[in-house]
A and B are shown apart, each in its own frame.
Chain A
Amino acid sequence: MIPLSWYLILAALLFGIGLFGVLARKNVIAILLSIELMLNAVNINLLAFWRYLTPEDIAGQIFTAMVFVVAAAEVAVGLALVISVWRRRTISSADELDLLKW
């Protein structure tokens, strides 16, 4: 059987890729995608720990399902914001969205 640590390494890698994407990509939609990647890394962790540590209990799955739901809602709001920004200012790049600066 695959050891637990492999799943954790996979999740860590995914999380790292997602984090890099959030920090380094300019495109707002790419940033949203990277956030999804990070959330899914967390999901893998949740499921791996559930399966290996408390398989008799389904809380891990339920929690993952909750994360899905929240992630879907988050993307809906995020995309709505992106579209709204695009309509007003034709911008889809994160470093141009700097109205809050000094």
Chain B
Amino acid sequence: MELTELIIWLLPLPPLLAFFLIVLFANRSNRASWMIGVGAAGLSFLGSMFVFFRALGADHFGEHPFTSQLAWLPLNGEAFKIGVLIDPLSAITLFFVAITVLMIFIYSVGYHNWGQPKGDHDQKGLPPHGATVEEHGHKHVVPSIEPMFARFFAFIGLFAFGMYTLVVSDNLLTLFVGWEIMGLCSYLLIGFWYGKPTARAAMIKAFMTTRVGDVFMLLGIALLYYFTGTLSFREILFNENVLHALSTHDSGVLGLSVAGLAGILLFIGTVGKSAQFPLHVWLPDAMEGPTPVSAMIHAATMVSAGVYMVIRMFPLLAAGMNHGHPTTPMVVLAVIGSITALFAATIALAQNDVKRVLAYSTISQLGFMVAALGIGAYVAAAFHLVTHAFFKALLFLGSGSVIHGMEHGVLHTGNHKVDPQDMFNMGGLKDKMPRTFWTFLIGGFALSGFPLLTAGFWSKDEILADAWAHNQAVFWVLAIAAFLTAFYTMRQITLTFLGKPRTKVAEHAHETSLWMTGPLMVLAVFAVGFGWLGIPEHFPGLGGLLPNWVHDFLAHGLPEWLYAEVPEFSWVPLITSLVVALGGLAAGYYVYRDVPSAEEDPAKKVLGPVHTLLENKYYFDELYDFLFVRPAKWFSEKFVFEGMDRKVIDGILHAVAQVSYWLGGIFRNYFDLPVVNKFIGDTLGAAVPQWFGAQIRKIQTGVVQTYMILAMVVAFGSLFIIMLTIR
């Protein structure tokens, strides 16, 4: 095994070790905890960069990726192998995962108020409430350190382990292991402040919703294993014979081929994980977690993992495609992706919570990627995945910085009624928090696809160009979604940073520490610069100045028969993407430049009842509550509890009791009284059993452990006797 492969094997380990070290030894020390956590993320980062740059230097990397296998589970003579694989797609994923994870770890140190005093009355399971300090003779309240500081770093360490495992896996099984580890960690982290009932509800909702997808995904994995006998990506996806066999074999379900059925089942896993319609409901609620968690889940890791998996499985999804005619799974992807992109964007228009807007925009952008994959734009989808991870991590961390600044204002004014996450309580933060403002602006412009400069423009433009060439219906849906994206992003920026402060709290907001703004600045560089690596050759004026590295690198990660041609340059998508980005931004600024309160939101007046519909997220939560939650509760209460438990099981037990009671009566009346009492009498005959009973009943202490000891003594005693006799 060469050095590179060895390092790939070791990549996931530091965060896992950090988890165990913190949980077992360092949980009392906040300083040791963050140092171990950040150190581990740093080690994995260095390893990932080493692997990434080795991948850049390798010849014919697409045909000869870094890979190595171990025999893991012996099965009937043949071993099930697990291994690692770094090919162009996983190399580029590793690149953005390593950077964003490290930045999120560093940011978390500041976000959880490292270096601040302990809170006056902070409790575990609740966000810190601030500490009173005396300075220059007068008291004032400052943010206090998170009461469960060490626990947070342990959890995100485990989370990072899950993501690295998923990225370096060369087979669906270990990918699924990493996937589930992340599911568990997202549950633990969303409910990090478990003292809040909303956080508890959100954690359960997230876990249950993603579970629906995961079950189908597991079915898909089992189906693939059943038909191919392997789960390795190279052996399934890069073997034309296998793919051909899969795509021609009828699965017997809805007339789909095996490849089609497996592809759709796996995609349902993505629908859950990446919060696509109709399993999107958990992601906005996941905002209950601390903000670094939101960035971790919604940008760098978990939701990216879902899209990464479908991009990875693209050859399977496209198996059986002839002459650009899309397969059934691709049609499903295109439809679900486009619906999600548009529908989440419309909800984002009517949200007032700064993090919820970003949550819906994430859902919408993931829809863009899924739709792109559905029309066969493999490279564009992967490109957007990378740029989106950078700018969305930046935006989430930026929004955390804003909330932190607002909380500072809340503590300063002592007015705890003001929600520090409501954008209508903000305004004018540009001057109070300049570093946060400029980085957030960059992130927001990248999300809206601000032309030429930002990474988001290049990746979104590529998706639109591909959509124009392959499927115009998808193109128009995505174009409208892109316009809405630009609009609500500018709405958010305007409400938060521009204009005048709307509350006293906003007036006293304060720039956050370098722990938090530092990662923002690093991510801002990537949110701008990464797009320049993927400028199409035919782009007027700029094309060809820089090599289209993203395309060259990624396209070779596909098997040869899938090499997509770059669509011919067309002015329509380019002008559309310019118009929607700039138009949306301008409209967002113009409409929201001077809005005093949430009641006077202009969208409310224009849209009327539609706005209420959007504000309530199309009533999906209520619908699911009606369709699934209430029937489940009814079933468990009426059927399981009252029917099965009370009537059937307790009924049997009660019947047994009745029968024994009745039998006892018979014995007493027809044997005990007439026979025993008559012949033995109740003088001596009763005294002897009574004495024995009094002695023996002392061992009936009712304490389960006494019984255990007795059982043990008897067991060992009989064992001893048996062994003696066998001799």
Q: Give the interface of A toward B (CB within 8 A).
A: 19, 22-24, 31, 55-56, 58, 61, 94-95, 97-102
Among candidates A19, A22, A55, A98, residue contacting B701 with C-beta atoms closer than 8 Å: A98
A-B contact pairs, 28 of them (CB 8 A): A19-B712, A22-B705, A22-B708, A23-B705, A23-B709, A23-B712, A24-B705, A31-B705, A56-B74, A56-B77, A58-B73, A58-B75, A94-B703, A94-B704, A95-B705, A97-B703, A98-B701, A98-B702, A99-B702, A100-B700, A100-B702, A101-B701, A101-B702, A101-B703, A102-B697, A102-B698, A102-B700, A102-B701
Cβ distance B454 to chain A, nearest Cβ, rounded Å: 48
| Complex CA–CA separation, A97 to B702 (angstroms) | 7
Asked if A58 and B74 sit within 8 Å, CB to CB, the answer is yes
In angstroms, Cα B74 to Cα A55, docked, is: 8
Residue of A nearest to B694 (CB): A102
Nearest-CB residue, chain B, relative to A95: B703
Further 20 A-B residue pairs, CB within 8 A, beyond A23-B709, A58-B73, A98-B702: A19-B712, A22-B708, A31-B705, A55-B74, A56-B74, A56-B77, A58-B75, A61-B73, A94-B703, A94-B704, A94-B705, A95-B703, A97-B703, A97-B704, A98-B703, A101-B701, A101-B703, A102-B697, A102-B698, A102-B701
Contact with A along B225-250 (1 / 0, CB 8 A): 00000000000000000000000000
- Complex Cα distance, B48 from A25, in Å, reads 46
Footprint of A on B, CB under 8 Å?
73-75, 77, 697-698, 700-705, 708-709, 712
CA distance in complex: A94, B703 (Å): 7
Give min CB distance, A28 to chain B, whole Å.
9
* A39, B133: Cα distance in complex, Å: 52
Among all A-B residue pairs, the 4 with the closest Cβ atoms: A101-B702, A98-B702, A100-B702, A102-B697
Residues on the B chain within 8 Å of A19, using CB: 712
Question: Measured between alpha carbons, how far is A43 from B705 in the docked complex, in Å?
Answer: 24
Q: Given A56-B74, A61-B73, A101 and B700 touching (CB < 8 A)?
A: yes
Please count the residue pairs between chain A and chain B whose beta carbons lie under 8 angstroms apart in the complex. 39
B700 nearest in chain A by CB position: A102
Chain A residues near B703 (CB-CB < 8 A): 94-95, 97-98, 101
CB distance from A18 to the nearest CB of B (A): 12
Chain B residues contacting A99 (CB-CB under 8 Å) are 702
Bound: A92/B549 CA distance, A: 63
- Measured CB to CB, the nearest residue on chain A to B709 is A23
- B700, A23: Cβ atoms closer than 8 Å: no
Interchain CA distance A56-B700 in the complex, whole Å: 49
Collect the chain A residues with CB atoms within 8 Å of residue B705's CB. Answer: 22-24, 31, 94-95
A75 to chain B, nearest CB (A): 16
Residues of A near B75 (CB, < 8 A) are 58
Distance, CA A40 to CA B547, complexed state (A): 57
Query: A23 touching B74 by the CB < 8 A rule?
Result: no
The interface residues of chain A lying within 8 Å CB-to-CB of B712 are: 19, 23
Chain B residues near A100: list those with CB within 8 A. Answer: 700, 702
Rounded to whole angstroms, the CA-CA distance of A33 and B379 in the bound complex is 50
Residue ID in chain B nearest A28 by CB atoms: B704
Nearest Cβ distance between residue B479 and chain A, in whole angstroms? 49
Bound-state CA distance A102–B703 (Å) is: 11
What CA separation (Å) do A94 and B706 show in the bound complex? 10
CB-CB nearest in chain B for A51: B74
Give the distance in Å from the alpha carbon of A93 to the alpha carbon of B398 in the complex.
48
Instruction: Determine the chain B residues whose CB is within 8 A of the CB of A31 once the complex forms.
Output: 705
Q: What's the minimum C-beta distance from A62 to chain B, rounded to whole angstroms? A: 11
**Which residues of chain A are near B708, meaning CB under 8 Å?**
22-23
Which residues of B have CB within 8 Å of A95?
Answer: 703, 705
Give bound CA distance, A102 to B30, whole Å. Answer: 51
Q: Which residues of B lie under 8 Å from residue A102 when comparing CB positions?
A: 697-698, 700-702
How far in angstroms is the closest Cβ of chain A from B99? 37
- List, in ascending order, chain A residues with CB within 8 A of B698's CB: 102
Point out the residues of chain A lying under 8 angstroms from B697, CB to CB. 102
Name, among B75, B77, B698, B708, the residue most crowded by chain A CB atoms within 10 Å (CB to CB). Answer: B708
Most buried by B among A19, A56, A99, A102: A102
Chain A residues near B77: list those with CB within 8 A: 56
Most-contacted residue by chain A among B75, B705, B709 (CB, 10 A): B705
Measured between alpha carbons, how far is A24 from B706 in the docked complex, in Å?
Answer: 10
Task: State the CA gap A77–B174 with chains docked (Å).
Answer: 30
Give B621 Cβ to nearest chain A Cβ, in Å: 28
In the bound complex, what is the Cα–Cα distance between A93 and B355 (angstroms)?
44
Q: How far is the CA of A92 from the CA of B77 in the complex (A)?
A: 50
A22 proximity list for chain B (CB < 8 A): 705, 708
Residues of A within 8 A of B709 (CB): 23
> What is the minimal beta-carbon distance from A23 to any residue of chain B, in angstroms?
6
